[in-house]
Structure 1
Amino acid sequence: MLLVVSCSRKKDKFISRNFHAVTAEFNTLFNGYNALEQGRTSLNDSYTDNYWDILPIERMEVFDEVVLPGQSKNELFGTAEEKAVKAIQKHSMNIEGKERNPQMDEAYLLLGKARYFDQRFVPALEAFNYILYKYPASDKINQAKIWREKTNIRLDNNELAIKNLKRLLSQEELEKQDLADATSMLAQAYLNTKSVDSAITQLNIASYATKSNDERGRYRFIQGQLYNLLGDKDSANIAFDKVIELNRKTPRIYLISAHIEKIKNFNYETGDKTVLLELLTALEDNRENRPYLDKIYFQKGEYFRNTNAESLAVEYYNKSLRTNTNDKLLKARNYEILGDINFDNSIYKEAGNYYDSTLSNLQLNSKPYRVIKRKRDNLKDVIYYENIARTNDSILDLVAMTDDARLEYFQSFTDELKLKAEEEAEKAKAIERNKGLATVNAGAGQMPPFQGVGAPGEAEFYFYNPTTVAYGKNEFRKIWGNRPLEDNWRWSSSGISANTGEVNTTDLIATASEDELYDPQFYISKIPTEQKVIDSISKDRNYAYYQLGLIYKEKFKEYQLAKDKFQDVLDSQPEERLILPSKYNLYKIYELLGASDEAAIAKNEIIANYPNTRYATILSHPEQVSEEDENSPENLYEMLYGKYENQEYAEVISKSEDYINRFEGEAIVPKFELLKATATGRLHGFDAYSKAINFISVTYANKPEGKEAQNIETNVLPLLANNEFVKDSIRDHYKVVYTFNDANKEQLEGFKTELDTVLSHVKYYSLKSSIDVYSPETTFVVVHGLTNKQVANTFEQLLTEEDKKKIKEPQFVISSTNYRIIQIHKNLNDYLNVDTN
């Protein structure tokens, strides 16, 4: 009792002051700082630096998630804050407005730091400001000022932080770690405001002043990065050399990254490549560098690519990927370079696959993502048609084989299948043996394997066991192959796939019985034998060749590849529609390749054998042909579209079919197809339109018109599918419809003119008419502007006696909603027989 009374926080006594100071320092604050350091260490360990960009001065990732009052993002920082608050509440000696406990400034400093690392910057700022206000004579005052500016920087108050830090540095003689902290934070504020020169100067001071070699290595590495940003490679290399000199005194990642940055600065024209290769090899062979082989392999790949050793470069880029690096940007860079190499070598399908992998490692909708996405989209068509060509070629090769050759081919395939099955069975047995061994060990007193959420002794949940998961993945691939993640992935109409570029037996394997699985005859029986099917496969293959020729010629300027494809078309007994366009394109390619003799032969052949064609006219009289030629595909399309707007749907459909055949293979054909489909829908209704749209979406899947058709199929057709009539509503608009069957244009125009004259005499209503095609035989003349059903039903009463005598054709009344339905579904008879009242 005597001790408690004598140590009261309300008495300014020597014993009281020292008791509370010692208790706060060596109990509450000691535990608080321990928790803070543990939290800071875990924060640093969880943070991953992006060495593709300028590193931040401080290793801390700021999250946008909102924390409610009383909550903490990190328990350790919450504990540190708790201890600081406890020290203040239990040991503060505020007597007559003056704090008598010398440890209270430390408590508030701990409170501010805990809140700072917990990313509650405004409360942290309050704690630091309280120290500056309440304890101006504290020996921690400079630290409080530095931490306040660190917090201001996190709150984007960079100009204020620069002003306050510069004043602190000019007014106070800071030393050692305080100087390092102040100048490093000033450097960060300069970086945030794009003042790179000033940041470099402050980092130089900080690197000499800091007591931590970790910080020294980081500051000097950032210096080197900033010099590179300014284009001063010599100064950058000096800064990186200082990092390398620290060797094991600083984290290994800084050492490796400094070497790599120096290698990036290497001049391949004037530098000693032998020395550089020796350095890369030494880094690769050093056992301490194993965690960083992904970066070293990549840089070695860059070396070989810059020295024109492409095959070695590809090998090292792949080695970098096989390290299973966690650096997504490094993965993306590896995949992108491999894609570019394949693209430059005209291996477009492989390039597309690499670009797909690149996209999966980039942030969605970022600028690099959009650049690669554009590259990948340019390859869609070529990959699509290459797959069709390769697939159909493989099928036709099987069709052309003799019976003995087919048997030999599939015998080899089934033998390999048996071997794989035996290997998988052996793996399964090994897994079972391992499970048995684990059970024995557990029975002998060892800890049994983790069994998920079930009780001990229950069967282990499948996905908690990595061994069974791996086995399941292998079994899936063995049965189904590498399937994309999509709906209806299992669907397939035959054992011949049109996606993989080769005979696909995965579906056959999945459905085959045990006897059929290893029977070559089972697979041979799936090869198409009907001539109609074989002709269709050949036709699709030839069309794919033709499209590839156009793509290589127009999009990629790969004239030799385009030439090969067009020649493949002509050598494959193509249908007539592809022969002339292929020959004309070959003529243009010969000109571009400078093969004048071949060009002359191709030109003469077209003029001699196809004299009445547009191509012959272009070659014979080029001066007569211009882009404004009335017979050009573009002008013909414009004229046909004009007919569509005039509701001449039957002629649009007929002419479209003619132009589709005439311009087969040209880019405008899908536009004619879409126009034809729209006209078909207008004339024949929803079902015909749906079929036509489906045809376009499948046939021209990679064209803009095909994508538009897919959008219509997905989003528009479901909205149009309902053909149920709605009950009449007083809120709807109504139409009076006059029906004409097999009427000519003059008769319709004459009636409309007469009707417009009559409508002009109607009072109180603004009425107008239109001619609407309903079907090939039936046309409507429609009166618009009636605002309710009663007025529509008594339409004749709106007319004068004289006007009634002029308009005697049969009519019916219909709401605007139901009129739309009969035009879409062509179900007028159904409407006339239904009661919509």
Structure 2
Amino acid sequence: MKNIQKIGFLGLLFLIASCSTRKDAFLNRSFHSVTTKYNVLYNGKVAFQQGIDDINSKYEDDFWELIPIEPIKFKGNIVAAPKFNSGFGGPGAPIKKQDNQKALPPFEKAEEKAVKAIQKHSMNIYGKERNKQIDDAYLLLGKSRYYTERFIPAIEAFNYIIANYPKANLINETKIWRAKANIRIDNVELAIETLSILLRQPELPELIKEEAHTAMAMAYLKMDSIHRVKEHLWLATETSKNKVQRSRNMYVLGQLYAMEKNKDSATLVFQNLVDFKKAPYKFRIHANIELAKNSPSDSSTIALLDRFKKLIKNRDNRPYLDALYYQVGTLEEGRDSIDRAKEYYNYSLRAKEAKPKQKTFSYERLANIYFKDLDYVTASSYYDSVLLVAKDKQTLRIKRIERKAKNLASLRKYEEVLQRNDSVLKLVGMSGEERRKLFQDYIDKIKKADEEEAQKKLNAISFGNAFGGGSAQARDNKGKWYFYNVQSLGFGKGEFERVWGTRSLEDNWRWSDKTTRKEDAKDNVKISQKLARYELETYLKTIPSKPKEIDSLVYDRNKALFELGLIYKEQFKNTPKAISNLERLLSVNPDKELILPANYHLYQIYSELGDGKSEKYKNVVLTDYADTPFAKIILNPESELKENKEVDEVSELYKIAYRLYKDESFEETVCFITEVLPTLEDSLLIPKFTLLKAYAIGKYQRKESYIAALEKVAVAYPQTEQGKKALELIKRLKQ
């Protein structure tokens, strides 16, 4: 027994002696190397791999844009040190225990484990590291910092390995990671130089070559050297040691060719990706979509349509149905099969997992189709839907759609006014008997529709019973009279209570004005509203009868006709619709204020068409409105041309000033506007010049000077848009 105790005591002393990190003995080196590799460092690598797996599985690529070569979204270059420790920590440095260790994100946990391995198990004796696992710990430390956006501390870790472990088996991997970190902080030239030296080494492992070429592509992409990006992506895709990264590289390569309109090369790359069975499915399905985008509109479209319809039927493709339906729609539209195209765009919108950005494209396609068909009202609704769904409203595409939607909004407003007022005025012009017949026909129609809907519900219950549904008693009663069928009777009773509420069995049970309980009062309101749909008087009393109301409808209708004529003429260049609205306006005897401009615009339209009808409207203006500016312009068109020319010249000057401002040449902007303003005389663009000058002053002078410049604009041009904007800015600055 004593011998066992002695052996145990000696073993304990032996273990304690081996724990020292300052003793260069075989036992010490082995103990710390094994403990580092299979305990602390192992847990850190597991956490790191979990973080990588999360990125690969959860990162959502925007396949409408050029996807990133490395799937990370960084918010900014953060260089703060770790929260749990400072620096690398030397041997024997204390470790701060984390209260929320379990809640640490994977990369932060990996970093913590790397720091722990360095602080507790580093054996730096006389300037030489005796623990062979410490270089792995530093590499894990640097990679973890890279993924938490602390690139400068990450580079410090990588540099430590390169300086102190030049012959380590992970030295090449470390150089690649250091280059990637340099790319992130815009040291692109340094990254390219170090990677070029690395790639010149003979007999590099395939994985290292693949990763180095991928990093080179990232560097050249940041420099917008697309030719070199494609070159290195080709080289990176020659092997497939990392199947996920190879798939991403192939997809980016195909996108770059597509952006350059090099359809043959893009098709080759995307087809290779489709055939790459080990690629993640999302890349393969989107490669199929890109193949369709790059296909010519010829007989091959039929084969593509068949291919996509098979993809749609595949249950595995449910998450991608919105994109697949959309692409079929574009193929059908390319074949001028517009009805089929609209059908598939709507399928795309109704797909269960439809993504917001995909919806914006489907809505835009539908809007463009209706716009092309001159159905501006429907097109306006679809453009509004784009703006409603879009998450990022600052892109050029969405801003362009927003401008188009604004132009269409006024058109849609006036079209709705015209349609509504025309309908009401048509009813006003009918006789009493005609109105009654019209509304009675409508009431009969909705009654029939309601009865059919109720019958459908009843049939659904009955058919359900016929196929085994319902209770045994209900099944025994099927096929008998309505009141003997338990299910049908129950449905009828429920429908009665839903409409009429709880009613006593008494005379005049339908009357809503007799004394009832409080519970019945609410039911009576609902019943009255429902029954009002079937009452002729409900509709007859809505028709206006007072002269003032009718005159208001006529005025609004005429104003809508005039505005629509101008919108179709000036904004949409739709001459037939412009003529139709303006001529109809003149046919209904509008107010005098509308007669002159309507005749003038019709004169302009027919003159541009070279139609002799222009003389008719010209004579009206010259005869009845000889003293107006419109008549003077008709008699002397050169005066209008001169005025337009002056406006164009001033606009060009403003463009120059604005270009200087956009180029951040603020002092030059102020000097240019100061010189130009005295030459503008009474131009309408003067407020724009002065406000731009104030903006430029605010960019390089003190706040007080900026406010003073804005006050000049606000005081000099209070009624203009620029004056109001200046006043609003002054209020904000003085808060």
TM-score by length of 2: 0.68
Change (3 A) 1:622 1:411: closer
2:500 is matched with none
2:397 is matched with 368
**CA distance in structure 2 between the partners assigned to 1:390 and 1:173 by the alignment:** 78
Q: Which residue of 13, 16, 21 maps to 1:2?
A: 13
Work out whether residues 32 and 83 of structure 1, in 8 Å CA contact, stay in contact via their aligned partners in 2.
yes
Write out aligned runs for 1:308-707 (5 A). 308-323=336-351, 327-360=355-388, 361=390, 363-401=392-430, 402=432, 403-405=435-437, 407-408=439-440, 411=443, 415=447, 514-519=527-532, 520=535, 521-593=537-609, 595-596=611-612, 598-599=613-614, 606=620, 611-614=623-626, 623-624=635-636, 626-627=638-639
Q: Which residue of 23, 26, 46 maps to 1:14?
A: 26
Q: Which residue of 129, 133, 136 maps to 1:99?
A: 129
**CA distance in structure 2 between the partners assigned to 1:585 and 1:289 by the alignment:** 56
Could you say what secondary structure the match of 2:75 adopts? coil
Change (3 A) 1:350 1:65: farther
Change (3 A) 1:99 1:532: same
Write out aligned runs for 1:75-474 (5 A). 75-171=105-201, 173-247=203-277, 249-268=278-297, 272-323=300-351, 327-360=355-388, 361=390, 363-401=392-430, 402=432, 403-405=435-437, 407-408=439-440, 411=443, 415=447
Q: Offset of 1:250 from its aligned partner?
A: 0.9
Change (3 A) 1:615 1:394: farther
Q: Offset of 1:67 from its aligned partner?
A: 8.7
Q: Offset of 1:365 from its aligned partner?
A: 2.9
**How many pairs are equivalent?**
557
Tell whether 2:54 aligns with 1:54: no
Q: Which amino acid aligns with 2:133?
A: Q
Work out whether residues 418 and 518 of structure 1, in 8 Å CA contact, stay in contact via their aligned partners in 2.
no
Could you say what secondary structure the match of 2:64 adopts? coil
| TM-superposition CA deviations, 1:218-250 (whole Å, max 9, x none) | 222222222233443222222112111113x11
Q: Offset of 1:199 from its aligned partner?
A: 1.9
Work out whether residues 79 and 151 of structure 2, in 8 Å CA contact, stay in contact via their aligned partners in 1.
no
**CA distance in structure 1 between the partners assigned to 2:628 and 2:639 by the alignment:** 16
Moved more, 532-541 or 190-199: 190-199
Could you say what secondary structure the match of 1:105 adopts? helix
**CA distance in structure 2 between the partners assigned to 1:512 and 1:65 by the alignment:** 64
Change (3 A) 1:96 1:629: closer
1:810 is matched with none
Could you say what secondary structure the match of 1:62 adopts? coil
**CA distance in structure 2 between the partners assigned to 1:397 and 1:274 by the alignment:** 50
**CA distance in structure 2 between the partners assigned to 1:70 and 1:60 by the alignment:** 20
| TM-superposition CA deviations, 1:776-825 (whole Å, max 9, x none) | xxxxxxxxxxxxxxxxxxxxxxxxxxxxxxxxxxxxxxxxxxxxxxxxxx
| TM-superposition CA deviations, 1:370-410 (whole Å, max 9, x none) | 22222222223212211221222233234345341464267
**CA distance in structure 1 between the partners assigned to 2:448 and 2:156 by the alignment:** 73
Q: Offset of 1:58 from its aligned partner?
A: 1.3
Could you say what secondary structure the match of 2:623 adopts? coil
**CA distance in structure 1 between the partners assigned to 2:443 and 2:229 by the alignment:** 71
Work out whether residues 139 and 174 of structure 2, in 8 Å CA contact, stay in contact via their aligned partners in 1.
yes
Q: Which amino acid aligns with 2:332?
A: F
Q: Offset of 1:13 from its aligned partner?
A: 1.6
| TM-superposition CA deviations, 1:584-612 (whole Å, max 9, x none) | 4445444555654x5556566x38xx834
Work out whether residues 44 and 109 of structure 2, in 8 Å CA contact, stay in contact via their aligned partners in 1.
yes
Change (3 A) 1:280 1:158: same
**CA distance in structure 1 between the partners assigned to 2:451 and 2:121 by the alignment:** 78
Q: Which amino acid aligns with 2:365?
A: I
**CA distance in structure 1 between the partners assigned to 2:637 and 2:296 by the alignment:** 54
Kindly report the root-mean-square deviation, in angstroms, between the aligned alpha carbons of the 2 structures: 3.9
Q: Offset of 1:162 from its aligned partner?
A: 0.4
Q: Which amino acid aligns with 1:291?
A: P
| TM-superposition CA deviations, 1:135-159 (whole Å, max 9, x none) | 1221111111111111111112111
**CA distance in structure 1 between the partners assigned to 2:453 and 2:83 by the alignment:** 56
**CA distance in structure 2 between the partners assigned to 1:284 and 1:11 by the alignment:** 68
Change (3 A) 1:69 1:112: closer
Q: Which amino acid aligns with 1:286?
A: N
Could you say what secondary structure the match of 1:529 adopts? coil
Moved more, 514-523 or 287-296: 514-523
Q: Offset of 1:626 from its aligned partner?
A: 4.9
Change (3 A) 1:150 1:68: closer
Change (3 A) 1:412 1:118: farther
Work out whether residues 584 and 615 of structure 1, in 8 Å CA contact, stay in contact via their aligned partners in 2.
no
Q: Offset of 1:283 from its aligned partner?
A: 2.7
**CA distance in structure 2 between the partners assigned to 1:225 and 1:515 by the alignment:** 63
Could you say what secondary structure the match of 1:209 adopts? coil
TM-score by length of 1: 0.60
Work out whether residues 258 and 266 of structure 2, in 8 Å CA contact, stay in contact via their aligned partners in 1.
yes
Could you say what secondary structure the match of 1:379 adopts? helix
Change (3 A) 1:35 1:233: same
Q: Offset of 1:543 from its aligned partner?
A: 1.1
Work out whether residues 183 and 219 of structure 2, in 8 Å CA contact, stay in contact via their aligned partners in 1.
yes
Change (3 A) 1:35 1:103: same
**CA distance in structure 2 between the partners assigned to 1:199 and 1:128 by the alignment:** 25
**CA distance in structure 1 between the partners assigned to 2:24 and 2:452 by the alignment:** 87
Q: Which amino acid aligns with 2:76?
A: D
Could you say what secondary structure the match of 1:273 adopts? helix
**CA distance in structure 2 between the partners assigned to 1:129 and 1:143 by the alignment:** 12
Change (3 A) 1:628 1:586: closer
Work out whether residues 44 and 60 of structure 1, in 8 Å CA contact, stay in contact via their aligned partners in 2.
no
Q: Offset of 1:167 from its aligned partner?
A: 0.8
**CA distance in structure 2 between the partners assigned to 1:42 and 1:416 by the alignment:** 58
**CA distance in structure 1 between the partners assigned to 2:145 and 2:598 by the alignment:** 73
2:713 is matched with none
Work out whether residues 368 and 379 of structure 2, in 8 Å CA contact, stay in contact via their aligned partners in 1.
yes
Could you say what secondary structure the match of 1:159 adopts? helix
**CA distance in structure 1 between the partners assigned to 2:641 and 2:107 by the alignment:** 78
Q: Offset of 1:255 from its aligned partner?
A: 1.1
**CA distance in structure 2 between the partners assigned to 1:235 and 1:622 by the alignment:** 59
Q: Which amino acid aligns with 1:298?
A: Y
Could you say what secondary structure the match of 1:238 adopts? helix
Alignment gaps of 5+ in structure 1: 427-508, 635-670, 672-704, 719-837
**CA distance in structure 2 between the partners assigned to 1:707 and 1:391 by the alignment:** 34
Q: Which amino acid aligns with 2:436?
A: D
